Every structure is written in C-alpha cells, then in structure tokens.
C-alpha cells in the first residue's frame, strides 16, 4: 500500500517506445502509422511529466480514500476490506491526474491562489478515482472477470452480490465527499457521470441492426463509459477555478477528446498487446460479444464481419475469424488515426489557456495516451 502513486504512473508514461516496437510485430498497418498520421505540432515539444507535477496532490490519495471508506462504517465489517480491495496503489490514476492538472492549469490561467479552491479540485480528482474504481467492480461482475490488475477479481474472491454492494458503497462514499465541496454546479456536473455510466452499460448490451448506426453507437457508448468521467471532472475543476462558460466548455472538450482517444487505444490494444501486458486475455472484447472500433473499421474490407457482429460473435470460430480479419484489414491503423485526431482536438481546446507547465503537461499527456501499451 505504500507504493508511490508517482512510481506507478511513471510506468504508464514510459511505454511509448515499447508500444511502437510491439505493435510493429503484429500489424503492418501500425508499423507505418507515422506515414499516414502526422503528429500534432504541439505534441513534438518536450513537456513536463503530469504525474510528477501532481504527485504532491495525489501522493496520499489512496490512503485518504481508504480512510474515507473506513470512517463511513459504524462497525468493522467485510465491506471495509472489499471496498478497499482495488485501492491498493496498483491503478494508473490517469483520471485524477487529468483532473488535477486541468485544475492547476485553469488556476494559473485565471490567477487563482485560494487554497480552498485547490483542495476542492483535489476532492474532484479523488471522486473521479472512486467512481472509476466502483465502475471496475461492477464491470468485473457483469463480465465474469477472474483477475484485475494481476490479482483475483473482487467478484471471484467474494461473489457477485457482495461485490455489487461494495461497488455501490464506494459510490456512496464518493457522493458524500462530493457534497462536502459545497458547490451546486459541481454537484450537478459530477452526478451526470453516474447517469452516463449506467447508460453506457445498457448500450453495451445492445447491438445495432443498422450497420451505419453502429459506429455512432460505439462512440456514444465510449463517451458514456470512459470519456464522460474525464470530461465532467475537467469541467468541474474549471467551474471551481471560476472559468467563464467558454472556458468551462473547453475544459469539457479536453476531457471528452482525450477520454475517447484513451478508449480507442484501449480497444486497439485488445488486438496488439499480450495478455500479460493488458492484465486480461487478448481479444477479450470479442469474447464478450463487443464490436469495437478496429472491428467496425474492418467491416469495409471484410463485410462478412457484419453477420458476426449481429450475433455478437457467438458462433463457433467467430472470435478467431474476426481477430484475423481485423489484423488483415486497415482497422488498426484507422483506429489509431481516429485516436490521433481526438488528441489533436484535445490539444486545440487548451489553446486559449495561458502558458504554464500544467498546460504543457496536459498536451504531453495526449502523446502518452496515443503511445501507451496497457
């Protein structure tokens, strides 16, 4: 538990060169990505490490979360152990890092020096990690996951019913922290995250009959399940900094675009990273019946994939065939290109902010997201 947040996050940002080498071994599309996707000019400049910049804010985050979870219980119980199970310092903490960096960038842009504002922005960052972790608990139950972050999943260890209650409890404690911020607009903004997460889960259970609607359905689901939390955490911290409506909208746009890019790369990695690196089996999404961006792009070259998508890859051999089709198509490169465009839009949304190390770190984080390997 004493593992530093900083050390865990550095591992996330050091993976760019390894990712490039590994992906080249799997797909010629990816190996030539630099020929078809020009990097955003802002991403070529060396930038500060965002994880290092906010280490002082987040170094004790897991300890603080565990304390909040314990003090909310009137007596010792198994719920305490279960709720803390994933707060062991093993996560990448990308969401709180984004929220905290965004908050500092806006504070510097607007000349905010009130420590109470920073403390409330830190609460938003902590809440974002709690919401994310609660969603992992619920996802593991729905997906019948056996492992998470290299250890036995909470549902395998304690069962589905208890695990569901543990996830709910984490959200309840996070809501209590949210109430202590005392800002009605922030309360409304972050409450929307929970609604989006539920909508995203429902969308994941659906398969669009209309082939032309599938990609938009996928993007909307990706926003609800992944990008919403990043976007609305950024928006909340811009609100706390006192930004005007245009500035608040730009903060939301940054979180939305980097969040969608993050999900696109995550879906790409399902095809090009080993199970050891991902912490889950390769082609896990296909086994769950999910058609992600690489598959949807691959349908243009292999239209027979549409029938497999409609039946959620349930027929014998569907998963293996779909996997081979994706690798033989341009779907991986197209997915990466789309992620790159969203990162470029994220960078553009920061153009109105005053130059600062935090703004630079947010720009550099886009490059890290594009080149991560897990």
- Look up the CATH number of domain 5-370: 1.10.600.10
For the chain, give the mean pLDDT.
86
Number of Cβ within a 10 Å radius of residue 33: 18
Over range 57-74, report the average pLDDT: 92
Letter string b/e over residues 284-319, b meaning 16 or more CB atoms within 10 A of that residue's CB: ebbeebbbbbbbbbbbeebeebeebbeeebeeeebb
pLDDT the model gives residue 365: 95
Is it the case that residue 143 has pLDDT exceeding 70?
A: yes
Over range 130-158, report the average pLDDT: 93
Task: Round to whole Å and give the CA distance between 361 and 353.
Answer: 13
- The three-class DSSP label of residue 294 is helix
pLDDT the model gives residue 32: 37
Residue 224 near residue 203, CB atoms below 8 Å: yes
Predicted structure pTM score? 0.86
Over range 154-159, report the average pLDDT: 96
Over range 327-335, report the average pLDDT: 94
Number of Cβ within a 10 Å radius of residue 87: 21
At 100, the pLDDT band (50, 70, 90 cuts) reads: very high
pLDDT the model gives residue 13: 46
Q: Which residue has the tokens 């030539």?
A: 32
pLDDT the model gives residue 221: 95
More confident residue, 9 or 89: 89
Is it the case that residue 280 has pLDDT exceeding 80?
A: no
Over range 343-347, report the average pLDDT: 97
φ, ψ dihedrals at 148, nearest 5°: -155, 125
pLDDT the model gives residue 46: 62
Instruction: Provide the percentage of residues in the chain whose pLDDT is more than 90.
Output: 73
Letter string b/e over residues 40-51, b meaning 16 or more CB atoms within 10 A of that residue's CB: bebbeeebbbbb
Task: Round to whole Å and give the CA distance between 330 and 55.
Answer: 39
pLDDT the model gives residue 296: 96
Contacts of 361 (CB under 8 A, 6+ apart): 47, 48, 49, 50, 53, 101
Predicted confidence (pLDDT) per residue in 201-211, tens digit: 999 888 777 77
Predicted confidence (pLDDT) per residue in 302-317, tens digit: 999 999 999 999 999 9
pLDDT the model gives residue 72: 84
pLDDT the model gives residue 9: 44
Q: Within 13 Å, how many C-alpha atoms sit on residue 173's CB side?
A: 24
Residue ranges per structural domain of the chain:
5-370
Is it the case that residue 29 has pLDDT exceeding 80?
A: no
Is it the case that residue 59 has pLDDT exceeding 80?
A: yes
Question: Where is average pLDDT lowest: 143-147, 206-210, 333-337, 350-354?
Answer: 206-210
pLDDT the model gives residue 277: 52
Q: Which residue has the tokens 């984080």?
A: 365
Cα 147 to chain centroid, rounded: 18
């Amino acid at each position: 538990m004493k593992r530093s947040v900083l050390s865990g996050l550095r591992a996330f940002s050091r993976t760019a060169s390894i990712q490039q080498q590994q992906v080249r071994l799997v797909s010629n599309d990816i190996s030539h990505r630099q020929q078809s996707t020009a990097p955003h000019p802002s991403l070529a400049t060396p930038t500060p490490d965002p994880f290092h910049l906010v280490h002082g804010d987040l170094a004790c985050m897991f300890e603080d979360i565990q304390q909040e979870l314990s003090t909310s219980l009137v007596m010792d119980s198994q719920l305490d152990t279960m709720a803390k199970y994933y707060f062991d310092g093993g996560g990448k903490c990308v969401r709180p890092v984004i929220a905290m960096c965004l908050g500092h960038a806006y504070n510097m842009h607007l000349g905010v020096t009130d420590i109470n504002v920073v403390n409330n922005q830190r609460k938003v960052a902590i809440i974002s990690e709690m919401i994310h972790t609660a969603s992992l608990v619920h996802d593991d139950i729905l997906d019948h996951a056996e492992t998470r972050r290299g250890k036995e999943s909470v549902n395998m260890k304690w069962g589905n019913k208890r695990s569901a209650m543990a996830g709910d409890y984490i959200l309840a404690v996070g809501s209590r922290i949210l109430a202590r911020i005392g800002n009605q607009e922030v309360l409304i903004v972050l409450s929307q995250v929970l609604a989006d997460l539920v909508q995203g889960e429902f969308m994941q259970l659906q398969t669009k009959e209309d082939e032309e609607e599938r990609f938009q359905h996928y993007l909307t689901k990706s926003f609800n399940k992944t990008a919403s939390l990043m976007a609305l955490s950024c928006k909340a911290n811009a609100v706390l900094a006192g930004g005007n409506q245009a500035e608040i909208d730009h903060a939301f746009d940054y979180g939305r675009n980097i969040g969608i890019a993050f999900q696109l790369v995550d879906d790409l990695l399902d095809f090009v990273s080993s199970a050891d690196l991902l912490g889950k089996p390769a082609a896990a999404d296909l086994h769950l019946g999910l058609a992600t961006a690489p598959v949807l792009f691959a349908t243009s070259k292999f239209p027979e994939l549409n029938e497999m998508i409609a039946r959620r890859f349930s027929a014998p051999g569907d998963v293996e065939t779909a996997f081979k089709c994706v690798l033989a198509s341009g779907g991986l490169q197209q997915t990466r290109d789309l992620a790159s465009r969203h990162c470029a839009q994220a960078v553009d949304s920061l153009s109105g902010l005053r130059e600062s190390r935090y703004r630079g770190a947010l720009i550099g984080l886009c490059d890290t997201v594009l080149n991560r390997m897990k």
